């Protein structure tokens, strides 16, 4: 009986191999079996709960996303605001007003270069930050 564990999801006794590991739990295994963890009903429930949370707390979600993005690039809100002011609230590529700025960075060094609109950020990313590729595209448009 030592090799069985009770699943908190389906309420069945299952073999220890039917559970994912979880070092934080006393027995070293998750509460629910692998089948319950990956069931469509569980996924649907998680998605529904997330949708309710997004609907109830949109400002909190947006602020959390902003903080995560700034932390990802190693800049604070003050640095971000300074970039926005330096660029007069406009895209560093096309000059259009920024509504949802993307933080542009050098992929080799990680250094932040400035703020771009989504189309300019995507174009630069697709060109792999390669000036020769961008010049080739300019010549092609010619």
C-alpha distance from residue 114 to each of 54, 83, 104 (Å): 29, 6, 5
Classify residue 43: in a domain, yes or no.
no
Classify residue 2: in a domain, yes or no.
no
- Tens-place pLDDT, residues 78-104: 999 999 999 999 999 999 999 999 999
- Tens-place pLDDT, residues 39-93: 888 889 889 999 999 899 999 998 999 999 999 999 999 999 999 999 999 999 9
Classify residue 31: in a domain, yes or no.
no
The enclosing domain of 120 has a CATH number of 3.40.1800.10
Question: Which residues make beta-bridge pairs with 97?
Answer: 90
CA-only gyration radius of the chain, Å: 24
Question: Residues near 12 by Cβ (< 8 Å), separated by ≥ 6?
Answer: 6, 33
C-alpha distance from residue 132 to each of 60, 95, 124, 129 (Å): 42, 22, 12, 9
Classify residue 117: in a domain, yes or no.
yes
Classify residue 121: in a domain, yes or no.
yes
- Record the pTM: 0.63
The boundaries of the domain holding residue 79 are 59-141
Classify residue 7: in a domain, yes or no.
no
Classify residue 16: in a domain, yes or no.
no
Q: What angle do CA 90, 58, 43 make, to 5 degrees?
A: 120
Classify residue 24: in a domain, yes or no.
no
């Amino acid at each position: 009986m030592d090799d069985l564990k009770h699943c908190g999801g389906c309420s069945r006794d299952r073999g220890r191999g039917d559970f994912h590991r979880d070092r934080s739990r006393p027995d070293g295994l998750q509460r629910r079996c692998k089948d319950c963890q990956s069931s469509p009903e569980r996924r649907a429930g998680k998605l529904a709960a997330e949708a309710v949370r997004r609907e109830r707390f949109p400002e909190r979600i947006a602020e959390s996303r902003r903080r995560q993005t700034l932390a990802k690039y190693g800049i604070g809100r003050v640095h971000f605001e300074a970039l926005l002011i330096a660029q007069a609230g406009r895209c560093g590529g096309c000059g259009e007003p920024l509504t949802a700025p993307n933080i542009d960075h050098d992929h080799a060094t990680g250094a932040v270069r400035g703020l771009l609109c989504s189309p300019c950020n995507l174009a630069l990313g697709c060109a792999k930050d390669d000036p020769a590729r961008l010049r080739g595209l300019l010549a092609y448009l010619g």
